[in-house]
Structure 1
C-alpha cells in the first residue's frame, strides 16, 4: 500500500538527520501531528496539512497548502530542503502558518478533521497514552488499490497483552461529527457496506495489516508514540479479525436518527463492528468502552426514552 517512508527518509527525520528539527518540533508541540504517506509526509495542524515534504533525489520538496491563504501574500522559505538549515527555516515559519490556518478555520470549520487529530494525540502521545489500548497510525487514510478510504487506522493492543507482540489486531475507525453525518453517501450504512467489500478479501485485509504494522514501527522510531515497552520489545505484529469502530462525536441523545439507521444494520461477517462509548469525557480508547451493535442500539433506546 506504500504508506511507510523509505529508510533514507526515516534517517533524515531521526537524530542528526537534516530533518530532525522538524521531528523534534512535532514531538514537543501537541498541536502538530506527523503522518506517513510513502514518498512524502504530512504535518497536520488542526486536521489540515500545514507542511508537506516529498522525497526527491536532491532533498525534499516542501509545500504549504496555499488554499489556506488565498487572500494573503506569503513569504515562504525555499521550496527545497537540502540542509538542516533549510529545515530550520520551515520550522521557524510554522507559527506564522498556524495563524493563517486559524483565520481560515474561523470561517470554514473542519471539526471532524480536528477531532481526528485530537483522538490520535490522546491515544498516541498524551499523558494517558500508556493507559489506553488503541494506537492510531494514520488519519485521512486513502488507498486506491484497495478501495479504502478511512478517517483513521491503527491497532488494538490490550494492556494485559503488552508483553506479547503478536497480540495486536487491526482497527479501522470512522468518525462522525454531529447527527448530520450519520446518513447519505458518506453515512454509517455506506461505510459498513464498503468495508464489507474490502475486508472480505484476505489479500486486501493482509495488506492493511502490514501497512498498520509498518507505520507503527516507523512512528516508534520517530518517538511519536508513547507507551511503556518491555525490555525485549522488538516489533508489534498486526493480525487477526479486524475491528471497525464508529466514533460519534457530539451526538444529540434526543435524536432518534442514529437508532433508526442502526435498526437496518446487520452484523458484518468479516469484522467486529464496535461503537465507542467514551469513558466519561475524552477520547482515550479502551476495549471496555467499545459496544457491539446490539448493546449500542439498546443504549440509544434508553437515551431516547
Structure 2
C-alpha cells in the first residue's frame, strides 16, 4: 500500500506562480470555490461537491496526465451521438446517453490534457452539477462542505481506501493534541442502518450487511487499529499529506501530528429527527456489535470506544472536543423526549 504523497517538484508546479499547475491551484484556493485538493499516491484529486472533478498524475518532471470521470457526462435522457456522429456503448453493449456539452466536446474530454482541462474547467463543473441533480445525495454534499478548509482547518484527508481490504474511511481529522480522528459521516435517519433488498425489492434492515451502515464502518476501524501495517501506513500518509498541505498553505502551520498518535473513531450524525424508532436504530446497532464481539474485538472496543457528535444539516464545523461516548448515549434526553 503506497504512502499518499507527491514530489517536491509537483508541489512547486502547483504553488509557484510560473508552475505548470498553478492555474488549477489558484482555482482551488480562490474564495468560495467549493473545490478541495486531496493528496494521493503520486497524484492529486480536485474535488467538487463530493465528486472528483480532475485527477492529475505526475508523469515525469513537469509533465502530468489528466483524467475526468466520464460518468458525470452521462444523462438519463441525454444525447445519443457524440461529435462526429459516433455512438458510444458501455461494457454490456448498451448505448450511452450524454450531456450536450459532453457530446459536443467528447474527444477533448476523453483525451483531456492540461490545456483542455483549463479550457473546459467550468464546463466540467456544470456537467457535474447536472449529474448531481440526477443522483442527489445529501450525505455526499454534507461531507464535502465539512472537508473544505473554510469550515474545518484540521481535515487531513477524505475517501481514504485500504487496498484489497474493503475498507474505506470517510474522513481523517487531527485534533489539537496531535491525535488522529477517523470520522464517519452519516446524514439523516436512513443512513444509520445498512439495507439489503429481498426478492420482492423491499428494503430489509440488516446492520451486518456489507453496505456501509454504522456497524460496518466501526468494524473496519477496529480492523485498521488491529493491523500494524495498515495503521502505520495511515499515520505515514497523514503526516505526508499534512506536510504538503502546509507547504501549499491549504492548512495552517500550527497543526501537528504526534510522533505516535492515538486514534479515535467519531460518528458525525447530521440531520437526525426526533422519531424515537429511528433514534433506537443508532443505539441498538452499536450495542449489538459490542455484545456479539469476540474477546479481541471487545478489548479494542473498550480501548477505542466510538465517539458521537450530533449536528444540524447546515452545521459544517466539527468540534472534536464536544464528542460524546456513543455507547450508552442518552438520545432521548438530547432531543428533549424525557
Band the TM-score falls in, shorter-chain normalisation: 0.7 to 0.9
Give TM-score, length-normalised by structure 2.
Answer: 0.73
Conserved 8 A contact 2:287-2:327: no
Shift of 1:55: 1.4
* Paired position in structure 2 for 1:151: 170
Query: Cα 1:169–1:245, aligned 2, differ >3 Å: closer, same or farther?
Result: same
Conserved 8 A contact 1:142-1:148: yes
Query: Unaligned 5+ residue runs, structure 2?
Result: 75-97, 195-209, 291-297
Pick from 247, 255, 263 the counterpart of residue 268 of structure 2: 247
Shift of 1:179: 1.7
Larger radius of gyration: 2
Higher RCO, 1 vs 2 (CA within 8 Å, ≥6 residues apart): 1
* Paired position in structure 2 for 1:198: 224
Return the alpha-carbon distance in structure 1 between the equivalents of residues 273 and 331 of structure 2. Answer: 13
Secondary structure at the counterpart of residue 17 of structure 1: coil
* Paired position in structure 2 for 1:27: 29
Pick from 112, 120, 127 the counterpart of residue 79 of structure 1: 112
Return the alpha-carbon distance in structure 1 between the equivalents of residues 69 and 321 of structure 2. Answer: 40
Shift of 1:238: 5.3
* Paired position in structure 2 for 1:290: 323
Return the alpha-carbon distance in structure 2 between the equivalents of residues 12 and 264 of structure 1. Answer: 51
User: Which region of structure 1 is more displaced relative to structure 2, 104-113 or 253-262?
Assistant: 253-262
Shift of 1:168: 0.5
* Paired position in structure 1 for 2:295: none
* Paired position in structure 1 for 2:199: none
User: Which region of structure 1 is more displaced relative to structure 2, 54-63 or 141-150?
Assistant: 141-150
Give TM-score, length-normalised by structure 1.
Answer: 0.81
Shift of 1:62: 1.2
* Paired position in structure 1 for 2:73: 69
CA RMSD in angstroms comes to 2.6
Conserved 8 A contact 1:150-1:172: yes
Conserved 8 A contact 2:162-2:230: no
Query: Cα 1:278–1:27, aligned 2, differ >3 Å: closer, same or farther?
Result: same
Shift of 1:13: 1.0
* Paired position in structure 2 for 1:47: 50
Return the alpha-carbon distance in structure 2 between the equivalents of residues 197 and 262 of structure 1. Answer: 16
